[in-house]
Amino acid sequence: MKKDEIPQDLGALGKITKEVCYATDSSGKYTTELSTGWDVKTTALDVAWTDIEKRIASAKQKVINKEASPLLFFMEYRLMDTSILADYTGFWQWQIKRHLKPEIFSNLSEKKLQKYAEAFNIKVNDLKTMTVHED
Amino acid sequence: MKIDFEHRQAAHCESGVTSNLLYTNSNGKITEPLAFGIGAGLFYVHIPFIKINNGPAIAFRTLPGHIFNRTCKSLGIPVVRKKFYSKEKAQAFLNECLTNGKPVGCQVGVYYLPYFPKEYRFHFNAHNLIVYGQKDDNYLVSDPIMENATTLGTYELERVRFAKGALAPKGHIYYPKTAAKITDDQIRLAIKSGIKKNVYNMLSIPGSFAGVSGIKNTGLKIKKWRDQLGLEKAGLYLAQLVRMQEEIGTGGGGFRYIYGAFLQEAEAYLPGYQLTDSSNLFTQAGDMWRTSAVHAAGIYKGRLGSQADFDIMGDYLIEIAGVEKRAFETLKKIKW
């Protein structure tokens, strides 16, 4: 890549910091230059987030339909699969899968709910009611 | 408590951290590209059967921790690295290092990293930064990908040092043990060893998931993605490939440009081995990766989408594999 071909499209990161790119100058020598972003990768990130939003919305519907517990919603919201959630909470994955059932979730002890709330960085009450405070 | 340390921005977190931690030892000679090349940072791997963020598990660089380790070892600098089960012990050790006037590298997860934009917060645990002091209740942090130094609260730092999931950092902390000076002869030896290691990683790892054969294999897979996954999911997969390739920390073109810069700098230490010619091949490979990203963007933006478009995309990767194979075979043939 030539130095003067480095894209300067404003992406999410560009609002906070510019990033270092390596490129060649007119004599072919490598040098660094700051870039505010490239729309090709901004779109790649957008595509990923649109998919995540879709998953969150579908999880929310499942919880409303009583097909899943609010755990599913917050897992999608926090981009966690059962394995990551197991690491954060100390539960086994099979336990988490059980807790994804609404009838079992509704009987969970306060102590267990607290563990989940901590992993999601939310309050127990918000976990039960599926409430999100933007952070 | 303030340690004499100057924040310097870099493209890639681990090679930036390595270069900055070795700044005093090397009098600034170990630049980011040199750290990346000596650490044999360039790689390609597409791990089968594993999904990351519901997409393919692809990486363009070697395993986290390897660059720092290899670079220091090759340069004859002993390394201290520690992981912890206890958060309290991890913090106590960090404070002790800072009291002794040592800036230290820390492996962290980015999901709860407060100064990162929300869009970039995934459960990615192989980010690296330097802690170089304490002020009031905050730690002074030099994150190589940021333009300026920043700070993290005690709890904020603990949370990212003990992020969970794949490659969990477990409080991983590391630094060069001594302030021994690095000589030009050591740098020359280290460059040779770094290149040899990288040649091995890209040409000789058995199986078809890593190195240049991995790139070719992904190319072949991409041609089947449209039928196997459907257009939408195939687009998501391509977007993930592009993100791994171009996102912050890569310097562009899936680290190929940094490697090109490394070979140019290496030429200054080891003239007569045509390293600049090899450098040009990596620049070419980087350019091809970026051209393929533009094509991929056409697919995930919905502008392209026919089987022919996927075939073209796959062919790009197969062609890149050819160029990189040629580049590494040239390096392999050098009689040092």
Nearest CA in chain A to B293: A40
Quote the distance between the C-alpha of residue B198 and its chain's center. Answer: 13
The per-residue DSSP string of B158-169 comes to HHHHT--STT--
CB A111 within 8 A of CB A100: no
Q: Which residues of A66-81 are buried (b: 16+ CB within 10 A; e: fewer)?
A: eebbbbbbbbbbbbbb
Q: Which of B53, B147, B297 sits opposite A48 (nearest CB)?
A: B53
pLDDT of residue A119: 93
Regarding whether A32 and A57 lie in a shared domain, the answer is: no
Q: What is the pLDDT of residues B184-234, one digit of tens each?
A: 999 999 999 999 999 999 999 999 999 999 999 999 999 999 999 999 999
- Assess B100–A contact: CB distance below 8 Å, yes or no: no
Q: What is the pLDDT of residues B71-80, one digit of tens each?
A: 999 999 999 9
Q: How far is CA A28 from CA A25, B50, B102, B284, B331, in A?
A: 5, 40, 38, 12, 20
Beta carbons of B280 and A28 less than 8 Å apart: yes
Q: What is the pLDDT of residues A33-88, one digit of tens each?
A: 999 999 999 999 999 999 999 999 999 999 999 999 999 999 999 999 999 999 99
User: Is the pLDDT assigned to residue B1 strictly greater than 60?
Assistant: no
Whether residue A58 lies inside any domain: the answer is yes
Regarding whether A69 and A118 lie in a shared domain, the answer is: yes
Regarding whether A12 and A72 lie in a shared domain, the answer is: no
- Residue to substitute from A15, A40, A50, A132, interface B, most B β-carbons within 10 A: A40
Q: Which of B117, B243, B252 sits opposite A44 (nearest CB)?
A: B243
Q: Which of A16, A41, A78 sits opposite B242 (nearest CB)?
A: A41
Regarding whether A124 and A58 lie in a shared domain, the answer is: yes
Whether residue A42 lies inside any domain: the answer is no
pLDDT of residue B333: 96
Q: What is the pLDDT of residues A90-123, one digit of tens each?
A: 999 999 999 999 999 999 999 999 999 999 999 9
Regarding whether A113 and A69 lie in a shared domain, the answer is: yes
DSSP reduced 3-state for B18: helix
Whether residue A46 lies inside any domain: the answer is no
Regarding whether A118 and A61 lie in a shared domain, the answer is: yes
Q: Output phi, psi for B47, to 5 deg.
A: -80, 120
pLDDT of residue B51: 87
ipTM of the complex: 0.93
Beta carbons of B300 and A13 less than 8 Å apart: no
**Which DSSP state fits B119?**
G
Q: What is the pLDDT of residues B137-146, one digit of tens each?
A: 899 999 999 9
Q: What is the pLDDT of residues B306-335, one digit of tens each?
A: 999 999 999 999 999 999 999 999 999 999
User: Is the pLDDT assigned to residue B49 strictly greater than 90?
Assistant: no
B38 vs B21: CA distance, rounded Å: 15
Q: In sequence order, which residues have a C-beta less than 8 Å from that of residue B13 and are 6 or more positions away? A: B127, B128, B129, B143, B144, B145, B249
The per-residue DSSP string of A70-93 comes to HHHHHHHHTT--HHHHHHHH---H
Beta carbons of A17 and B168 less than 8 Å apart: no
Regarding whether A31 and A64 lie in a shared domain, the answer is: no
How do strand A30-35 and strand A19-24 relate by DSSP bridges? antiparallel
Number of domain units in chain A = 2
Whether residue A135 lies inside any domain: the answer is no
- Residue to substitute from A2, A5, A20, interface B, most B β-carbons within 10 A: A20
Domain that holds residue A88: 53-129
Q: What is the pLDDT of residues B233-248, one digit of tens each?
A: 999 999 999 999 998 7
Q: Output phi, psi for A11, to 5 deg.
A: -110, -175
Q: Output phi, psi for A41, to 5 deg.
A: -85, -25
B162-175 average pLDDT score:
95
CATH for A114:
1.10.260.40
Q: Which of A19, A32, A87 sits opposite B248 (nearest CB)?
A: A19
- The model's confidence at residue B50, banded by pLDDT at 50, 70 and 90, is confident
B65 vs B127: CA distance, rounded Å: 10
pLDDT of residue A10: 85
Handedness of CA B5, B8, B14, B15 (dihedral sign): negative
A2-16 average pLDDT score:
86
A18: which chain B residues are within 8 Å (Cβ-Cβ)? 147
- Assess B33–A contact: CB distance below 8 Å, yes or no: yes
A93 vs B171: CA distance, rounded Å: 24
Whether residue A134 lies inside any domain: the answer is no
Where exactly are the structural domains of chain B? 13-30+79-176, 184-333
Q: What is the pLDDT of residues A11-48, one digit of tens each?
A: 877 778 899 999 999 999 999 999 999 999 999 999 99
- Residue to substitute from A6, A19, A42, interface B, most B β-carbons within 10 A: A19
Whether residue A48 lies inside any domain: the answer is no
pLDDT of residue B52: 85
Quote the distance between the C-alpha of residue B304 and its chain's center. Answer: 31
Architecture of domain B13-30+79-176: Alpha-Beta Complex (3.90)
Alpha-helical segments (H) within chain B = 13-21, 23-26, 32-38, 66-74, 87-99, 154-161, 184-203, 211-229, 231-246, 256-269, 275-300, 307-333
pLDDT of residue B183: 94
Residues of A with a Cβ under 8 Å from any B Cβ are 1, 6, 12-13, 15-24, 28-30, 32, 34, 38-41, 43-45, 47-49, 51, 78-80, 83-84, 87-88, 121
A119 vs A78: CA distance, rounded Å: 9
- The model's confidence at residue A135, banded by pLDDT at 50, 70 and 90, is low
- Assess B133–A contact: CB distance below 8 Å, yes or no: no
Regarding whether A115 and A82 lie in a shared domain, the answer is: yes
Q: Output phi, psi for B105, to 5 deg.
A: -85, 140
The more confident residue out of B49 and B257 is B257
Residues above pLDDT 70, as percent of chain B? 99
User: Is the pLDDT assigned to residue A124 strictly greater than 90?
Assistant: yes
B35-49 average pLDDT score:
95
Residue B308 burial (10 A CB sphere; 0-12, 13-18, 19+): exposed
Regarding whether A58 and A23 lie in a shared domain, the answer is: no
Residue whose tokens read 């990288």: B198
Tell me the whole-structure pTM to 2 decimals. Answer: 0.94
Regarding whether A74 and A33 lie in a shared domain, the answer is: no
CA atoms within 13 A on the CB side of B243: 24
